[in-house]
Structure 1
C-alpha cells in the first residue's frame, strides 16, 4: 500500500487518486477526553482503527486527521500518516475534507472512518468502496445492517429507557436513503399478516461514509436544515439538499457492532474482542 501526505499544497500538481480512507481523531471530546489514545486490550484505539483501514484492499491513502500533536506523535510512532487539521473544524466531516485537501493527490473517493470505529470489519469498509466503483452515479454511500427480531427488540427496549444511541434508516428499491432517524423506522405493526416476523424491514445505520471528492466539498458548503438540527444527524443535510445517499446493506459475519462513546464502552469492546478475536492481527 502506498501512502501520500504533504505538509504543504503550494506548487504541487493535482492528480486523481482512487480512494483515500481518512480517520478523524480529536483529543478534546467532551464526553471522553483523549479517546483516540485510550487502550483497548494492549493497543490504542486509533492504532486499531488505522489497522482496520490498512487491511482494506486497493486503497491508496490511509491518513489520520487530528488537531492534537499527542495523537499525531503516537500515529507516527507506528508509521501511520497524519494530517494536522485546524482546531476550528466544526465536526469530523469537515476535518476529513481538510485532510483530503492536504494530500499530495486529490482522491476521487474519500472514506470517512470514525476514529472510534474499532469493531468495523474491513469488508464492510470495502463494500462501500465497491459500490462507489460499481456505480459512478453514487455521490455518497453509507452502510446499514438488517436487524432481526432479537436485535430489534433490544433496540426498542433501549429506546424505551431513554437511550439516544442507535440510528435507523429506510431506503427505496434502488437503495437510496429515504430517511435516517434516532427513532426506530419504519414502525413495525404486529398483526396477523406476520409483520413481526423475520426478515425485519428495519435497518440499523452504521456511521461510515464514502464520498465523491466533489460531493464532499459541496456537502460541507451547505447549510444545515431543520431535519438535521432536530435529529442531530449530519447525513440528513444531504437529503434535505437533494443529494442522494446510497445505503449498502452489509453483513458483519457474526461480528458484534459496538460504538465507543464513553469510558464504560471500553470494557464492553474488550469483552467482545476477547470473545470474537481481533479483526486484524497485530
Structure 2
C-alpha cells in the first residue's frame, strides 16, 4: 500500500454552527474525536487537521495532534485538503483521504473499507455507500448512488435513483468520505466546477463528467454528522460507552 494521508478540514466559520470543530463532546473538542478515530485505521500513515483558524490550530497542538494552517479563501473543503496534502509532501501516487471534520462518531473500519481498494493500482478515487430505505431515499439531502456491478459509480443524485418502473429498487445512500490519488486531487481542483456539479450541487460529479471513475465500496456503517448544535446531543448519546472516546 502506498502512503496514505487522512486530512480533516476544519474551518471555524459555519452559517449553521460557528466554531463547530471546537464544540465539546465527552469533554474533548469535536476535531479530537475525528482525528483520534482516523488515526485508529491501520492503513492511515499520517492524520492531519487542516484549519483556517488560530484557535483550532492552537487547540490541536495542545492535544499533541498534527495540524496545518491553510488559507481562509478556499471555496470547498476539498481545496483545503489539497493545500494540506501539498504541504505534507504527498507524492502523485499517494492516497489522500478527505475525512469530514463533523463526523465525531466515525467508525475507523469505514476508512479501512475506503482505502483497501487502492491496493489495485488502477483505482484512482474511492467513496462509500450503504443501503437506505425508500423513505430516506426521497430526501434530497440524502445523496443516492447508481453503481455498476464492478463497483464503479454510474451517477450520484439528490433524486431517488434508480427509478423502479415495475419493481421497487434498492437504494444506495452516499457517505461523503473520499479517497483520491494525489494526482487526481490536483486534477480535480484544476478542472473547475462542471455543469452537472453546478446543477445537483454535488462536487463528485465533476470527476464523472471528466471521465475519472469513482469506486464505491459498500459499508454496513452509517454516517452521523453534526450540522447544527442540536445534533451534538444525538451524536453524544451514540458515542456513549464506546471504546473510541
Shorter-chain TM-score tier: over 0.9
**Alignment match, 1:178:** 154
Deviations 1:198-233 (A, max 9, x none): xx5211100000000111101110021221011111
**Consecutive unaligned residues in structure 1, runs of 5 or more:** 1-15
1:140 and 2:106 matched: no
Q: 1:180 to 1:96 in 2, by over 3 A?
A: same
Q: How far apart, in 2, do the equivalents of 1:103 and 1:17 lie?
A: 15
Q: 1:152 to 1:273 in 2, by over 3 A?
A: farther
**Alignment match, 2:78:** 93
Native 8 Å contact 1:144 1:204 kept in 2: yes
**Alignment match, 1:227:** 196
1:166 and 2:135 matched: no
TM normalised by structure 2 equals 0.93
Q: How far apart, in 2, do the equivalents of 1:117 and 1:281 lie?
A: 13
The worse-fitting range, judged by mean Cα deviation, of 19-28 and 112-121 is 112-121
Q: How far apart, in 2, do the equivalents of 1:146 and 1:57 lie?
A: 26
Aligned residue runs from structure 1 range 114-125, under 5 A: 114-125=100-111
**Alignment match, 1:4:** none
1:218 and 2:181 matched: no
- Structure 1 residue 261, shift from structure 2 partner: 1.1
Out of 118, 131, 135, the residue aligned to residue 153 of structure 1 is: 135
**Alignment match, 1:62:** 47
- Number of paired residues? 244
**Alignment match, 1:269:** 235
Q: How far apart, in 2, do the equivalents of 1:242 and 1:155 lie?
A: 26
Native 8 Å contact 1:17 1:60 kept in 2: no
Deviations 1:152-186 (A, max 9, x none): 32443xx3xxxx42111011111111111112211
SS in 1 for 2:170: coil
**Consecutive unaligned residues in structure 2, runs of 5 or more:** none
Native 8 Å contact 2:137 2:171 kept in 1: no
Q: How far apart, in 2, do the equivalents of 1:247 and 1:58 lie?
A: 18
**Alignment match, 2:62:** 77
- Structure 1 residue 105, shift from structure 2 partner: 5.1
Native 8 Å contact 1:27 1:71 kept in 2: yes
TM normalised by structure 1 equals 0.82
Deviations 1:100-140 (A, max 9, x none): 0101453711000010112221011111111112x111111
| Cα RMSD for the two superposed structures | 1.8
Native 8 Å contact 1:110 1:212 kept in 2: yes
Q: How far apart, in 2, do the equivalents of 1:52 and 1:26 lie?
A: 19
**Alignment match, 1:7:** none
Q: How far apart, in 2, do the equivalents of 1:132 and 1:17 lie?
A: 8
Larger radius of gyration: 1
Native 8 Å contact 2:137 2:173 kept in 1: no
SS in 2 for 1:263: coil
- Structure 1 residue 271, shift from structure 2 partner: 2.4
